[in-house]
Amino acid sequence: MIDFPSGEMVGIFGPVSSGKTFLIKQWLKTQNRFVAFDYSGEMLEYEMYSQAPKALYERLKENRYFFQLSYLPGPEVELDFHYVLWSLWFLPVKKLLVCDEVHRICPVSGVNSDMETMLRFARHANLSFIGASQRIADVSKLFTSGCRTTILFHTREIRDIQAIDDRWGCGDLVRDLRPLIYDDYRKICTQTPQAVVCKKGQEPEVIEL
């Protein structure tokens, strides 16, 4: 298992059923203070808030030292992200924000002011961030360049391989990874996936999930 890089900005990329959500859930088991901005509805086992930023804010004020929460945004994704981010920002504790489908708020075409502020100053607010997406080619370079750790799962999408080569130079490694094989009928994993871990200042490394 890949250890959670606490205190960092982390990117996780791979197609559907590649292992992204499994890895995130394993990491969250070790965390006492997090909000999962759960656009895809994968984190329903946690205390959930749906399009209710005020209720989320009140819950965080009630106990800032322990919270394991998920927030399901509505159609105004950027507005919901704004409320969730700033509800967390000024809590005087170390905390984690997880964002599935991060390309929805951090597209390759550009980022809004909330996302830019978070990417540039999260460490000053003691905020760790995990952003996950199926397509790295759809995500802004401002995010991927700000990640101290990036996890890449198997893909053969040409645009993604090109984007990976452009940013980390390890497209061949990612293309040749062993993918996840999951038996939906028996609900078991029949093949454990590999991932490429890219850390700033280090060579990309293939790791067993």
Residue 193: what pLDDT?
Answer: 86
State the CATH number of the domain containing residue 37.
3.40.50.300
Q: Is residue 14 part of a domain?
A: yes
**Could you give the number of structural domains in the chain?**
1
d(CA 43, CA 24): 10
Q: Is residue 180 part of a domain?
A: no
Residue 134: what pLDDT?
Answer: 93
Residue 16: what pLDDT?
Answer: 85
Q: Is residue 91 part of a domain?
A: yes
Q: Is residue 182 part of a domain?
A: no
Do residues 97 and 128 lie in contact, with contact meaning Cβ atoms separated by under 8 Å?
A: yes
Residue 66: what pLDDT?
Answer: 97
d(CA 99, CA 96): 10
Residue 209: what pLDDT?
Answer: 80
Q: Is residue 147 part of a domain?
A: yes
Per-residue pLDDT of the chain (209 residues; tens, 9 = 90+): 788 888 899 999 999 888 888 899 989 999 999 999 998 788 888 999 999 999 999 999 999 999 999 999 999 999 999 999 999 999 999 999 999 999 999 998 888 899 999 999 999 999 999 999 999 989 999 999 999 999 999 998 999 999 999 999 999 999 999 988 777 777 777 778 899 999 998 999 999 88
Which residue segment(s) compose the domain that 75 sits in?
9-155
Q: Is the whole model's pTM more than 0.75, yes or no? A: yes
Do residues 129 and 34 lie in contact, with contact meaning Cβ atoms separated by under 8 Å?
A: no
Closest CA to 115 of 132, 129, 126: 129
Do residues 139 and 99 lie in contact, with contact meaning Cβ atoms separated by under 8 Å?
A: no
Residue 22 has a CB neighbour count (10 Å cut-off) of: 17
CA distances from 107 to 121, 140, 149, 174 (A): 19, 5, 19, 22
Residue 6: what pLDDT?
Answer: 83
Do residues 160 and 120 lie in contact, with contact meaning Cβ atoms separated by under 8 Å?
A: no
